[in-house]
Chains A and B, each alone.
Chain A
Amino acid sequence: MAIAERTAGTISPPDIHARPGWAGWLSTTDHKRIGIMYLVSAFIFFLIGGIEALLMRIQLGTPDNTFLTPDVYNQMFTMHGTTMVFLAVMPLNVGLGNYIVPLMIGARDMAFPRLNALSIWLFIIGGLMLYVSFFAGGAPNVGWFAYAPLTQKQFAPSAGVDYWIIGIGLTGVASIAGALNFIVTILNMRAPGMTLSRMPLFVWMQLVVAFILIFAFPVLTVATIQLLFDRHFGTRFFLPSQGGDAVLWQHLFWFFGHPEVYILILPTMGIISEVLPTFSRKPIFGYAFVAYSGVAIGFLGFLVWAHHMFAVGLGPLANAFFGAASFLIAVPTGVKIFNWLATMWQGSLNLTTAMHYAIGFISMFVIGGISGITLASPPINVQQTDSYYVVAHMHYVLFGGAIQGIFAGVFYWFPKMTGRMLDERLGKWQFWLMLISFNLTFFPMHLSGNEGMPRRIYTYEAGMGWELWNLLSTIGSLLLAVAVLLFLWNMLTSLRRGAIAPADPWDGATLEWAVSSPPPSYNFAVVPTVQSRRPLWDRKYPHLHESHDPGEESMERLGAVMHDAAETEPPIPAGAIHMPSPTYAPLILALGIMVLGFGIIYLGDLGLAAAAAMLVGLLVMAGGIVSWVRISHVDSPHHAH
């Protein structure tokens, strides 16, 4: 603790790198500001996706309700799914990763700060384009999975599907660029001594997810571009009446779509693997098992896509293979759960709000995992698929799991990011309200599903036995909204009036707690040297170092002594640390891509006018690229960072 405070106290010069005010945000290349922009925009999208869900729940609260028209309802569930997957959970994870990963590995920024800025702008623009569709003839209404041939122009004539294609495409480019950035950053920019086997598990999971992303996302991008060509330029990839194949779309979509599930959940498993040890005052139990089970899940995630297609009629052999592969995923998942339990076992559990959420994650994720077992079994799956049972299962994994994990991460790292503590009392109230209302919303869906209620229906008739379950779900969802509003209130008030956060409020073990809250723009005045998986605890509790990793070599302890000697040297003056300069180039490039995107959407219908827009977009892009290259040219010869 003493060293952390000293670090925070001595190094807090004014932030000389950012422009003031809005300009500072629009031109930033600082991974921390970009992380915050990801978190804020993704949280706004999370609220919007939540409102869409509430509208659906109100519609389904009673049978034969007429609150929403069928088409609006179909737009709602399409946008809810698309928003929560692409614009909320994914970027919330990316935002936390963007902020925390460089700090955790002792780096001063991401490997490619301007590419990082391009990612955030493409993400925001992609999300906004998706929502522009509401004002351009109607949002997409074909489901987030967009099954062919319902997406063909003859069945879905509005431009909503085109906005969906371009919006998803832009966020996809943002994600792929971001993933490459994470991979290069994590592999190349770790502090001296931080071997892969000493890397925090959150960083491990972000690394695994980045690899999943670069293999999974291009498949979706290709499929959506094929779809765009089907809709506007006369191809017939997915149109069976003219020789295309509707099932091909499903293979392509789920080859992306299932790994996507792990893109959503693995980072939050990483969060849990940081939060649980910190608040148990113990190291993670079985570090290697936890890390490698994450790798195994990422790998197996590519072998199970057809379990979304058991009712498609692929044949018993294919179904058996994909069923067996899906069962296999239960093994590494089970390993993680038991290792987390063992981490808590005989610990000294500090039940903070973050810890509440981490424990809630385990509890709810287990339920989602168990309900997943029956879905992995092809014969049972064909009763449960496309019913509300799946809606229940998927929300236990993605809300009870991923969202609760993200809440754990936000309560854990909010002090680091803002310099203020969130209100713990309010946080715990919110946790319990959320846990109860979450279960009230989603548990009854298991039952309505098993009683034959299909998904994606805007209405149902009375007398099917679904009324009670739906009413409970609707009540639960309203309470859930209150819980989310409590969190919003907590954030807004804590930002102004919250207790000032010290550098290391939780007695953390990883490097982000070694710097002030919030950290200076360059993160570390002196890049730290790492001797173990818990570098900060090595400094705070040197006597515990003895009991550290069983395989520690004495040479490394020698290194620790030398490092401590280095630590006492005065820090380097801030001006001497080279950081990437702010630039508008990524924003300009992204805006150009946006204009190009609008042109593409209307090229088939408007012809020349759209082509002109595309040309303008290309010119703006060219401007962005030129200014980008010039800055790079000025920067690079002088400093290596």
Chain B
Amino acid sequence: MRTHPRSLARLVGPVLLIGSFFALAACANTPGNTYDPQGDHARRIYELLIPIWWMALGVFVVVQGLLVYAVWRFRRRPGSAAMPAQVHGNTQVEILWTVAPAIIVLVIAVLTFRTQAANAVMPADAMRVTAVGHQWWFEFQYPELGTEGKPIVTASDMYIPAGRPVTVVLEAKDVIHNFWVPKLAGKTYMIPGKTNYLTFTAEQPGIYRAVCAEFCGEAHALMRFRVIAIDAAEFDRWVAQKRVPPPAPSGTLTVNGLTGDAARGQALFLDARKQCISCHAIEGTNARGAIGPNLTYYGSRQTIAAGILPYSPENLGRWLREAPGLKPGNLMSRVLTPQWIRANLSDQEIADLVAYLDSMKVSVALPPER
């Protein structure tokens, strides 16, 4: 048995290595890290994961340890031809190692069901947001917060009050999507023909990365969004502004050497020949397209084209010119083909459109990215 300590010593290396890998991942404050929960739903999952992870580590060390030990201890040495004892089994031992994993999974099951129950609760006072999955962007409706029966509608940025439970009502327009804000909550599918619910509370103000997690077609990888949790007073300010249509556009904006005029941009936007209003809506105007995202107060978006470009007037101009290349397969690129743009949309007109869209802003103090 003098071999014992050495074989154990061999184990230390790999275990430490794997352990430090996990530790590295857990400590890193990366934008989508489920080991850095910032919402109650995600935190309860994390708190369930930790004891299971220790149990798993225990099982890992025991089984791999026995395996390595057995290989080392019982390997055939040169010249030893002795026949080992022919043991066929031992019912008692086998019952023991049938019962042992059963007890471990029983414990895990009990812990699991407690967390499951807690994460299924939908408080009556939770704010409701309807999230609709489209190929390939997220739409958000606030039915409780609109005016005259019309909800506040936006896309790609989901504003919520921090510290207050939010129940997201999940729907899908075309195919199945999957709503995932890793730091706030686990995934829930958005399924056409079915309504799902997900309740969570963002513990503190912050901008949280989120994605569609179910494969939903060509540009699935480019279907992202942000959850922007702001404190209650700031959220009320956001709502108050969103309930009112944007004022008539005025002013100019210089992008890449071209000066766009916001008023001219609005006229272009509403011109049916430019195709914008076939798909897009802007409150307070005749733009009522319901196929693409609602662009009211577009100037306050965090990103362009569902999370793939940071919002800036330059990037917006680029998106209008290069939609097919930036997001393959998306509907807008089927209309705004390079040939169509050459024939129908000059650089000056794009600058005007950018100036118009950028002019519609909501004033909110943005929290940090978490």
A386 to B34, CA, bound (A): 13
A338 to B100, CA, bound (A): 11
A458 to B112, CA, bound (A): 33
Known: A246-B191, A311-B187. A282 touches B84 (CB 8 A): yes
B147: Cβ under 8 A from any A Cβ: no
A344 with B74: CB separation less than 8 A? yes
A549 to B87, CA, bound (A): 10
Per-residue interface assignment for chain A, residues 542 to 560, with 1 indicating a CB less than 8 Å from any chain B CB and 0 otherwise: 0010011110000000000
In the complex, chain B residues 1-60 whose Cβ is within 8 Å of any chain A Cβ: 18, 21-22, 24-25, 28, 30-35, 42, 44-45, 48-49, 52-53, 56, 59-60
In the complex, chain B residues 292-312 whose Cβ is within 8 Å of any chain A Cβ: 308
Pick the contact of B25: A289, A384, A447, A459 (CB < 8 A). Answer: A447
- Set of chain A residues within 8 Å of B159, measured between Cβ atoms: none
- Set of chain A residues within 8 Å of B82, measured between Cβ atoms: 348
CB distance from B319 to the nearest CB of A (A): 16
A567 to B24, CA, bound (A): 65
- Set of chain B residues within 8 Å of A447, measured between Cβ atoms: 21-22, 24-25
What residue of chain B has the Cβ atom nearest to residue A345's Cβ? B70
Pick the contact of B120: A316, A339, A456, A550 (CB < 8 A). Answer: A316
A286 with B89: CB separation less than 8 A? yes
A285 with B88: CB separation less than 8 A? yes
B89 with A246: CB separation less than 8 A? no
CB distance from A89 to the nearest CB of B (A): 22
CB distance from B56 to the nearest CB of A (A): 4
- Set of chain B residues within 8 Å of A341, measured between Cβ atoms: 63, 66-67, 70
- Set of chain B residues within 8 Å of A380, measured between Cβ atoms: 45, 48-49, 52, 112
B60 with A367: CB separation less than 8 A? yes
A69 to B28, CA, bound (A): 31
A346 with B193: CB separation less than 8 A? no
B87 with A247: CB separation less than 8 A? no
In the complex, chain A residues 38-89 whose Cβ is within 8 Å of any chain B Cβ: 69-71, 74
- Set of chain B residues within 8 Å of A451, measured between Cβ atoms: 25, 28, 30, 32-35, 182
A126: Cβ under 8 A from any B Cβ: no
Known: A280-B74, A285-B88, A452-B182. A335 touches B97 (CB 8 A): yes
A450 to B33, CA, bound (A): 6
In the complex, chain B residues 175-207 whose Cβ is within 8 Å of any chain A Cβ: 175-176, 178, 180, 182-183, 186-189, 191-194, 196-197
In the complex, chain A residues 342-368 whose Cβ is within 8 Å of any chain B Cβ: 342, 344-351, 359, 362-363, 366-367
Pick the contact of B193: A141, A241, A452 (CB < 8 A). Answer: A241
A377 to B52, CA, bound (A): 10
A282 with B70: CB separation less than 8 A? no
B279: Cβ under 8 A from any A Cβ: no
Known: A377-B48, A454-B180. A312 touches B85 (CB 8 A): no
A455 to B188, CA, bound (A): 15
A407: Cβ under 8 A from any B Cβ: no
- Set of chain A residues within 8 Å of B209, measured between Cβ atoms: 452, 464
A147: Cβ under 8 A from any B Cβ: yes
Pick the contact of A363: B28, B64, B170 (CB < 8 A). Answer: B64
Known: A370-B56, A447-B22. A453 touches B120 (CB 8 A): no
In the complex, chain A residues 168-223 whose Cβ is within 8 Å of any chain B Cβ: none
CB distance from A382 to the nearest CB of B (A): 3
CB distance from A60 to the nearest CB of B (A): 10
A331 with B98: CB separation less than 8 A? yes
B71 with A351: CB separation less than 8 A? yes
B76 with A373: CB separation less than 8 A? no
A33 to B56, CA, bound (A): 44
Surface stretch bound by B, among A4-12, A112-120, A322-330, A519-527: A322-330
Pick the contact of A338: B97, B170, B213 (CB < 8 A). Answer: B97
B182 with A383: CB separation less than 8 A? yes
A246 with B76: CB separation less than 8 A? no
- Set of chain A residues within 8 Å of B94, measured between Cβ atoms: 286, 289, 335, 338-339
A331 with B221: CB separation less than 8 A? no
A444 to B17, CA, bound (A): 12
A382 to B193, CA, bound (A): 21
B368: Cβ under 8 A from any A Cβ: no
What residue of chain A has the Cβ atom nearest to residue B66's Cβ? A341
CB distance from B9 to the nearest CB of A (A): 18
B124: Cβ under 8 A from any A Cβ: no
- Set of chain B residues within 8 Å of A381, measured between Cβ atoms: 186
- Set of chain A residues within 8 Å of B213, measured between Cβ atoms: 385-387, 454-455
A600 to B217, CA, bound (A): 25
A382 to B182, CA, bound (A): 10
A349 with B71: CB separation less than 8 A? yes
A550 to B71, CA, bound (A): 27
A283: Cβ under 8 A from any B Cβ: yes
A287 to B18, CA, bound (A): 34
A148 to B2, CA, bound (A): 61
A316 to B18, CA, bound (A): 34
Surface stretch bound by A, among B101-109, B239-247, B351-359: B101-109
- Set of chain A residues within 8 Å of B104, measured between Cβ atoms: 330
A361 to B349, CA, bound (A): 64
A150: Cβ under 8 A from any B Cβ: yes
B275: Cβ under 8 A from any A Cβ: no
- Set of chain A residues within 8 Å of B90, measured between Cβ atoms: 285-286, 342
A330 with B220: CB separation less than 8 A? no
Pick the contact of A346: B85, B214, B217 (CB < 8 A). Answer: B85
- The chain A residues found within 8 Å of chain B, CB to CB, are 69-71, 74, 141-143, 147-150, 155, 240-241, 244-247, 280-283, 285-289, 311-313, 316, 319-320, 323-324, 327-328, 330-331, 334-335, 337-339, 341-342, 344-351, 359, 362-363, 366-367, 370-371, 373-374, 377-387, 443-444, 447, 450-461, 463-466, 541, 544, 547-550
Q: List 25 A-B contacts (CB under 8 A).
A: A147-B215, A149-B175, A155-B175, A245-B193, A280-B74, A280-B84, A286-B94, A313-B189, A316-B120, A334-B100, A339-B94, A351-B75, A362-B67, A370-B60, A377-B108, A378-B112, A379-B119, A383-B187, A384-B34, A447-B21, A451-B25, A451-B28, A451-B30, A454-B212, A456-B220
**In the complex, the 5 A-B pairs of residues with the closest C-beta atoms, listed nearest first:** A452-B32, A465-B30, A240-B193, A382-B186, A457-B221
